[in-house]
Structure 1
Amino acid sequence: MMVVLIENEKQFDELVRGEKPLLVDFYADWCGPCRMQSPIVDAIAEENSDVVVAKVNVDDVPEVAERFGIVSIPTLLIFKNGSVVKQFVGVTMKATILASLK
C-alpha cells in the first residue's frame, strides 16, 4: 500500500474514520531526523496491507499538527477507531512501531 500524503484537514479526518489502524508521520522536509524516519515508515506501508500509513508535512498542513499538539518532529501517531492509541517522538525503530500497530 502506498503512503498517503495529507493535504488538508478534511482528507485527514476521512482517514482517521477508516476501519484499519492508521499510522501518521508528522514531518518537515528540512528535518534531518525526519529523513531518517521516512524510509522506515515507507517500508511499513509497503509491507503491511492491514495498516493505512499517512504523512503530514507540518509546514504544509500546520492545522493538523496543531490539533494534536505536535511540537517535535518526527512524531508518529497511531490511531485505532478514530482515537490516538500511541505516540512516538523522535526516530523510532520499525519493530517498535509494528508492535504498537498489532
Structure 2
Amino acid sequence: MAITELTADMFDSEVLQSDQLVIVDFWATWCTPCSMLVPILEEIAAEHTDIKICKINMDEAQDIAEKYGVMSLPCLIFFKQGKAVEECIGLVSKDRIVSLLPE
C-alpha cells in the first residue's frame, strides 16, 4: 500500500475515522532525518497492507501537530480507532516501528 499524503482537511476522515491502524508521519521539507525515514516507511507499507501509513507536512498543518504535541521531527504517531496510542520521535529503525505494530 502506498503512503497517503495528508492535508489538514483530510486528517479526520483518513486518520481519526479509519477502522485500521494508521501511522502518521509528521515531517517537513527541511528535515533531513524525515527524508531518510521515507524508504523505511515505504518498505513497511509494502509489507504490512493491513495498516495505513500517512504523512503530513507539519509546516502546513501546525494546528494538528500542536494538538498532538509534536515538537521534534520526524514524529510517528500510531492511531487506533481515532486515538493516539504510540509515538516514535526521530529517525527510528524499521525494526523499532514494526515492534510497535499489533500482532
Fold match by TM threshold 0.5: yes
Amino acid at match of 1:49: T
Q: How many percent identity over aligned positions? A: 35
Rounded Cα–Cα distance in structure 2 between residues aligned with 1:45 and 1:64: 23
TM-score (norm 1): 0.92
Determine whether 1:5 maps to 2:2. no
Aligned to 1:58: 58
Contiguous gaps of at least 5 residues in structure 2: none
Rounded Cα–Cα distance in structure 2 between residues aligned with 1:51 and 1:3: 10
Contiguous gaps of at least 5 residues in structure 1: none
Aligned to 2:23: 23
Aligned to 1:83: 83
1:3-56 per-residue CA deviation (whole Å, 9 max, x = no partner) reads 111112x31111222111000000001111111111111211122110000001
- The CA RMSD over aligned residues, in Å, is 1.1
Rounded Cα–Cα distance in structure 1 between residues aligned with 2:63 and 2:39: 25
Q: Secondary structure at the residue paired with 1:101?
A: coil
Q: Secondary structure at the residue paired with 1:69?
A: coil
